[in-house]
Structures are given as C-alpha cells and as structure tokens.
Amino acid sequence: MAAAPLLEVSGVGKRFGGLVAVAEVSFAVQEGEIFSVIGPNGAGKTTLFSLLVGSQRPTTGSIRFRGEEIAGLRNDQVVARGLVRTHQIVRPFRDMTVKQNVSVGALFGSKQLRGEAAPAKVAEVLERTGLAARARVLAGTLTIGELKRLEIARALATEPTVLCLDEVMGGLNPAEIQGAMALIREIRKSGITVLMIEHHVHAVVGVSDRVMVLNFGRKIAEGRPQEVLRDPAVVSAYLGDEEGAAA
Amino acid sequence: MKAPLTRSLVWFGVLAAGLLGAPAAAERGTLNDLWNVAFAIVLASAWNLLGGFAGQISLGYSAFVGIGAYTTVLLAMAGWNPWLTLPVAAALAVAFSVIIGLPTFRLRGPYFSIATIGVGEAVRVIASGVEFTGGSSGLRMPSGGFNFISNYYGMAVLALFTVAVVFFIHHDAFGLALDAIRQDIDAAEALGVQSTRYKLLAHAVSAALVGAAGGLFAMNFQYISPGSVFDFRLSLSIVLMPIVGGIATLVGPVLGAVLFSYLQIKLLASPALRDSYLFIYGGLLMAVMLFEPRGMVGLWERLVRLRSRQRPQAAEA
C-alpha cells in the first residue's frame, strides 16, 4: 500500500473574472518523486504553482501538504512549511550580490537559520548550484543561465521539502540543460521532492517519474512520461486537430 | 550594496565628534543651527529605514513628529519631567504607526504614498479641531526648566543613536529582509519573508525615533501648533532629505539633512529668498531625479570612479 501523499491537490480551480485559468485540477505527489506538469502555453501551469505556494488564492478546492490544509495561507507561511517555488521569469534581487540573494532564502526559509548556520547553508547551496565563484557578483550582472541557477539556489536555501521548479530550462543551451537535469536528479537524491513545469520534452522524459498534462486549465492526462506523451488527447493538445479545437 | 565597515565607522566617528564636541567650541547661534541639523538627521535617517531600505515612500511622517510633540507638552502640563515624557512620546508614535500601517501596507507603491498623505492631513485636521490639543492655536510648555544645552545634547545623542540603529538593522537579517522587500516584494515573499511584519517593524522603529525627536522639538521650542508639527511641508522635507542625500544608503540621509538644514538657515536669513524655499527644494528634487537618482552618495561614487580612471593615465604622462 502506498504511503499517504506528501502533497494532495483536489478540485483546485482559479477564475479571473470570466476566465477559468485552472479548473478542478486534482493530483497527488508522493515523497521523493519528480513530478512534471506539462501543457501548451496558457494551460494554467504557472497559475497552478502560484495557487500551491499561496501567491494567489484558489477560487475552489483544497491543497493538503503533509496532511495539513494550506489553501488560503500566505506565500511566506507556505514556504515556512517547506513548499517553495522558483519563477519562470527570473526575479533576482538585482542590487544584491548572489550570496545575499541566497541568504534571503536561508534566513527566512523553513528553518529561519541564524548565526553560523546561515552562511554555511548559503556556501553549501552556492557550491551545489555551481555559483560559488560568482558569490560576490551583483545578481543584475549574471547571464540567463546563471540567473536560472540563482532561482534554484535561493529556493534550495529555504530548505524545502517540496521544490516547485517553473521552467528552469527555458532559454538554456543543450549543455546547460544537461547540467540542469543532473542538478534536478541530485536535488531529489538529497531528499527533496521535485514538482516541475517544463517545456523541454527530453528533459521531462529524462528525469520525471510521473507527468501530468494540463490544457485550457484542465487535466487531460497523467502517468508515466512515455505513456502520457503517446496519449491521443495529449498529442492533439500540442499539435491541434479538429477534435481538439472543438473540445 | 553595503559600504565597507571601516568607512562607516570613520564618518560616524566624525559626526559624533562634531555634534558632541561642538558645545566646547561653538557659540549659541551655531549650536542652534547644529540642533536643527541633528533634528533633521533623526527625521531623515529614521524615515530612510522604511522609505529607503524597505522602499515604502511615506508622505505622512509629520504625524509622528506631532504625536511626539503633543505627548511631551500634554504630559509636561500634567506635571511630568519633560525628559520622562520622551519614552511615552515614542511609544504612542509606535502605536500609531501600527494602527495606520496595518491598512496602508496592503497598498503598494504610489497608492501607499497617497494613503499616507491622507493620514498625515487627517491627523493635522483632528489636532486643529479637538479641544485637548488647544486647537489651531496650539499649546505652550509649562514655564521653567528650559535648558538649551541639555536640549542640544538630547537631540545630538538621539541623532547618533538613530544612525547607529539604522546601521545595525542594515547589517542584520532584518535589513536584508527590507532590501528584499524593496527590490521585489513578491520574490521576497516567495522565499519566506513576512513582508507585512517587517514593514510594520521598520515603520515602528522609525516612528519611535521620530516621535522622540518630536518630544525634543517641543522641549526646545516651548510652543507647538498643528501648523508647526503636523505641517505637510515638514512631511515633504523629511522625504526630500534622504532622496537628495542618497536614498537607501546609510550616509545619504545624513548628508541630505546637513544640506537641507544649511539651506534652510541661509534661506530664512535672507528676506528675498524666505518664501522661495519650496521652489528651491523642488528644483533640487528634480535635479536628483533627472541626473543622479542615488543623490549625493551617487554623485560622490561617480566622482571616485572618474578619479580612479584618470589616475593610471596621469601616471603614464
């Protein structure tokens, strides 16, 4: 029998006026999994992440994290419980150094590290994400690849139980994508459950245990990556056909 | 970016020596001017904590000056030693900062600033209308016990204390939280920063300092009215000083305070310019916004960079 899921989302929806961004989405993530969310542009993936971490309030549904209802909590309260997200469009603190950026995560994350523990955590995270050599540089001067890693580094510094990665491979070159995939596997190995939104199909197939597909805010498929990608509903959602257009 | 520690200590030492050593060398008139400088330093540095570091531009800070001043006068009229009224003045300013912070910190950017104008004006109108504040004619401190030199030291010590408090906050996790809130409040919250809590804390600390300065203001001028301590132009000056000096820096508000106090003294002394000070302040503000948004501190850094670029060339020649 499977253990109770770490994260259990049921019937979650978000409506902006007349627009339904996310409609009645349900899924469950087990501890130690790498769970990917894919779907065409505008499918509601990023909105779903915003609902999970509390930067937006769901209109309907429930989100249970380690058995506790977290729908309706503020973003910082969710981070304190160990659920953190990165941003697809990177949001560095540009006038801070890379090290200070990561320190924010260490000081205000789930452990609220103080004293010697904070700089130690920051150094460890910078090492893991390959940013140690850039620690003293202003974040505003980093390349896009480095900024994506900084997003991950800051989130890791909060010591999450579940890390939600929003398209960390967007805009990266093939070598950088290989590096990012290795980093994601390494993060899972260190005991962190990974939830990720990704467009890069090779990366999704390469690292995910399970995949969920969203289209127009609705879940249209869920399962092992290879099976899901062969699913006719998924194929039509991506490539479009008469059935897809009518539905 | 944080200035090197030794440089901060050096200019703080110079400021402390200047303010505390002045009574030994200077005469009453100069000390009066220095009292004004110290008062301006408290207002500008304390405001900078919320308006600069946390990026929440409040245009209602005269409310804290006024609350502090009225608290001191009213308690002194009830027989209190004026010095003992200062903690109460600070505490009431803190209480008020929380009461207005809770609703207004839900607003962002210019909406917050506009709301604080309303708060400041509302307080002034109320103070002019109710009876226990003496209405628009104001209140006078009970006579006796006035001692300029102790008032001077009081304000000088408060100015140094304010700069020290801001320095420690800037170098603490609290300061990093404020920096994060200013640069990207959503990203800060996404990393666990409790933004409302830290904004309220910054507001409270700066309100306490400004409230105490308001109390000292009343002790020194002996007479206060809504027109003097709840004036919107005072709120504006409090904002302009850190902006002209260098917003969100430690030394900027101090430089701005010195410049403004100097200008004010010069302008008030010249009948032709007496009524033109807002015009001159406005001009300064526009110049800063257009040419050097980081104020005098930014200007200084630009000069340093120019010199370091010229030096190698000079060596070659």
In this complex, the residue of B183, B192, B195 whose CB is nearest that of residue A93 is B183
Tally of structural domains, chain A: 1
Calculate ∠ Cα A231-A234-A237, nearest 5°.
150
How does residue A1 score in pLDDT terms, banded at 50, 70 and 90?
Answer: very low
The mean pLDDT value of chain A amounts to 92
A135 lies in some domain: no
Q: Is the dihedral of CA B152, B153, B158, B163 positive or negative?
A: positive
A147 lies in some domain: no
Q: pLDDT of A65-119, one tens digit each?
A: 999 999 999 999 999 999 999 999 999 999 999 999 999 999 999 988 888 889 9
Answer yes or no: do A95 and B173 touch at CB < 8 A.
Answer: no
DSSP label of A141: G
| Per-residue pLDDT, B4 | 73
CATH number for the domain harbouring residue A18: 3.40.50.300
Q: pLDDT of B109-129, one tens digit each?
A: 999 999 999 999 999 999 998
Q: pLDDT of B2-22, one tens digit each?
A: 567 888 899 999 999 999 999
On whether the CB atoms of residues B67 and B93 are closer than 8 A, the answer is yes
pLDDT greater than 50 at residue B49: yes
Average the pLDDT over B45-58 and give the result. 97
Q: pLDDT of A172-200, one tens digit each?
A: 899 999 999 999 999 999 999 999 999 88
Alpha-carbon separation of residue B126 from B38, B61, B235, B288 (angstroms): 29, 16, 17, 35
- Model pTM score: 0.91
Torsions phi, psi for A137 (to 5 deg): -85, 145
Domain that holds residue A244: 1-82+192-247
**What is the crossing angle of helices A117-128 and A98-108, to 10°?**
120
Does the model's ipTM exceed the 0.85 cut? Answer: yes
Q: pLDDT of A28-72, one tens digit each?
A: 999 999 999 999 888 999 999 999 999 999 999 999 999 999 999
Alpha-carbon separation of residue B298 from B8, B132, B251, B292, B294 (angstroms): 16, 46, 11, 6, 5
| Per-residue pLDDT, B114 | 95
Whole-number Å distance between alpha carbons of A220 and B113? 46
A5 lies in some domain: yes
Q: How far is A175 from chain B (nearest CA, A)?
A: 28
| Per-residue pLDDT, B317 | 41
Domain that holds residue B14: 5-316
What percent of chain B lies above the pLDDT cut of 70? 97
Mutate to test the interface with A, among B189, B191, B197 (most CBs of A within 10 A): B191
Chain B positions in Cβ-Cβ contact with residue A91 (cut-off 8 Å): 184, 186-187, 190
Q: In the structure encoding, which two tokens stand for residue B214, read together? A: 């308001």
Chain B positions in Cβ-Cβ contact with residue A84 (cut-off 8 Å): 190-192
How does residue B136 score in pLDDT terms, banded at 50, 70 and 90?
Answer: confident
Answer yes or no: do A104 and B177 touch at CB < 8 A.
Answer: yes
On whether the CB atoms of residues A161 and A137 are closer than 8 A, the answer is no
Chain B residues with a Cβ under 8 Å from any Cβ in chain A: 1, 173, 176-177, 179-180, 183-184, 186-195
Average the pLDDT over B130-158 and give the result. 91
Average the pLDDT over B128-139 and give the result. 88
Residues present in chain B in total = 317
Tally of structural domains, chain B: 1
Whole-number Å distance between alpha carbons of B261 and A147? 44
CATH number for the domain harbouring residue B128: 1.10.3470
pLDDT greater than 70 at residue A10: yes
Nearest CA in chain A to B181: A93
Higher pLDDT, A238 or B182: B182
Nearest residue to B292 (alpha-carbon basis) of B246, B258, B251? B246
Q: Is the dihedral of CA A50, A53, A55, A59 positive or negative?
A: positive
